[in-house]
Amino acid sequence: MFNSLKPQPADKILALMGQFRADPRPEKVDLGVGVYKDAEGRTPVMRAIKAAEKQLWERETTKTYTALAGEAEFHAAMAEMVLGADYPKARLSALQTVGGTGACRMAFELARMANPGTTIWASDPTWPNHLSILNFMGQAWKPYRYFDAAARAVDFDAMMADLAGAKAGDVVLLHGCCHNPTGANLTLEQWGVVADLLEEKGAIPMIDLAYQGFGDGLEADAAGTRLIASRLPEVMIAASCSKNFGIYRERTGSLMVLGDEAAKEVTQGTLAYLNRQTYSFAPDHGARLVTMVLTDPALRADWEAELEEVRNGMLGLREQLAAELRQLSNSDRFDFVARHRGMFSRIGASPEQVETMRATNAIYMVGDSRLNIAGLNARTVPLLARAIIDAGV
């Protein structure tokens, strides 16, 4: 039976991770996978998470099962962080998931159960795994234009023109902040225009919020999501705790669904059912740590302070890289690096130029020229800038 299996395409981001590890060159620079790294190249366990783990180790008396959809405290803490303290409790259903990827997968599953004829609209480009999952599911999807490759900015008119084709019951996938892979984001005003269009079309927004706190701050990064949630009758939000809590391997995420109050019970039951059919309970450890950090004032203050350090560090690197490129290119054509937000910027190099930088300079970025700003430090920024110019970008 297994002889009939066909090889599956490797995930490009994860394949690059393996390629980087195998590279013996000591000066190599990893700007690939979306993992935060400090100036020494480490991905530390955040202070508040470490403290919560210690408390948990002392306090925890059982490892018995939790609630199938996740615990109420986790959902309340996540909803407050994402939607604000006055979130509409009576309309919210929530599911603890295996990371943000799990939340996306469950959102797609829920959409297809609710409307088997739905089409998922995804930005072009988007995180490649969105499309890979949709293809694996056999789920219909359509791209909408998003990125102006020349300006390295959002092409809002093109986006609106394409989304005008969305039908009632279609799902429009949006990146809540820190767009992956481009780094180019909607303004709050544009979020309002998107809300108007979705309202008019009867389409359902699905917001992938994987980097809250990495762009303009914890509150500011949720502003677009909150605007959509306050305006649309039905919304899905897939939130990841991997990056902002630095708990990648704990696989912690949340799918929040806002809908009609009358539909809440069945929606909540369907979410629990999806967990049960897929893997039963989502892992507890990360979700418990997140709940502790969000609800304990001292842990929360320390976590927010460290998250701000991380965010400001990335902003500083953006400024430095933009300044370096301005000087080397004698132009302002790379100033977009400082305007982009989050971990990533798509710098607009061709696949050949990306390959040249890997082969010549041991600089690793994803083939579409997405680079992870957090993979840089004050020493490697000038090396990258030089490599970008030498490659002819």
Instruction: Find the binder of ligand LMR among 97, 118, 180, 182 (CB under 6 A).
Output: 180
243 in active site = yes
Cβ distance to ligand LMR smaller for residue 111 or 210: 210
Task: Answer yes or no whether residue 389 interacts with ligand LMR by CB under 6 A.
Answer: no
Cβ distance to ligand LMR smaller for residue 17 or 263: 17
Cβ distance to ligand LMR smaller for residue 78 or 104: 104
Task: Answer yes or no whether residue 108 interacts with ligand LMR by CB under 6 A.
Answer: no
79, 107, 243, 385: the catalytic one is 243
162, 170, 208, 221: the catalytic one is 208
Considering the complex, what minimum distance in angstroms separates the CB of residue 181 from ligand LMR? 7
CB distance 385 to 324 below 8 Å: yes
Number of C-beta neighbours around residue 219 at 10 A = 12
210 in active site = yes
Considering the complex, what minimum distance in angstroms separates the CB of residue 197 from ligand LMR? 27
Instruction: Find the binder of ligand LMR among 36, 74, 127, 214 (CB under 6 A).
Output: 127
The residue whose Cβ lies closest to ligand LMR is 34
Radius of gyration of the chain (CA): 21
Task: Answer yes or no whether residue 267 interacts with ligand LMR by CB under 6 A.
Answer: no
Considering the complex, what minimum distance in angstroms separates the CB of residue 364 from ligand LMR? 12
Task: Answer yes or no whether residue 376 interacts with ligand LMR by CB under 6 A.
Answer: no
Considering the complex, what minimum distance in angstroms separates the CB of residue 127 from ligand LMR? 5
Considering the complex, what minimum distance in angstroms separates the CB of residue 183 from ligand LMR? 12
Cβ neighbours for 340, distance < 8 A, ≥ 6 positions apart: 152, 182, 183, 184, 185, 318
DSSP letters, 240-309, are: E-TTTTT-GGG-EEEEEEE--GGGHHHHHHHHHHHHHHHTSSPPSHHHHHHHHHHHSHHHHHHHHHHHHH
CA distance 285 to 124: 35
Task: Answer yes or no whether residue 34 interacts with ligand LMR by CB under 6 A.
Answer: yes
CA distances from 300 to 91, 107, 295, 297, 311 (A): 27, 28, 7, 5, 16
CB distance 186 to 194 below 8 Å: yes
Cβ distance to ligand LMR smaller for residue 13 or 290: 13
DSSP letters, 176-237, are: SSS-TTT-----HHHHHHHHHHHHHHT-EEEEEE--TTSSS-TTGGGHHHHHHHHH-SSEEE
51, 111, 127, 203: the catalytic one is 127
Task: Answer yes or no whether residue 13 interacts with ligand LMR by CB under 6 A.
Answer: yes
CB distance 278 to 270 below 8 Å: no
CA distance 291 to 356: 45
Q: Tokens standing for 294?
A: 């969000």
- The DSSP symbol for 152 reads T
Cβ distance to ligand LMR smaller for residue 34 or 259: 34
Task: Answer yes or no whether residue 177 interacts with ligand LMR by CB under 6 A.
Answer: no
Considering the complex, what minimum distance in angstroms separates the CB of residue 135 from ligand LMR? 16
85 in active site = no
Task: Answer yes or no whether residue 224 interacts with ligand LMR by CB under 6 A.
Answer: no
Task: Answer yes or no whether residue 183 interacts with ligand LMR by CB under 6 A.
Answer: no
127 in active site = yes
CA distance 13 to 390: 24
DSSP letters, 96-113, are: EEEHHHHHHHHHHHHHHH
Considering the complex, what minimum distance in angstroms separates the CB of residue 278 from ligand LMR? 18
Cβ distance to ligand LMR smaller for residue 143 or 165: 143
CA distance 83 to 223: 9
Binding site for ligand LMR (CB under 6 A): 13, 33-34, 127, 129, 180
- Positions annotated as catalytic residues are 127, 208, 210, 243
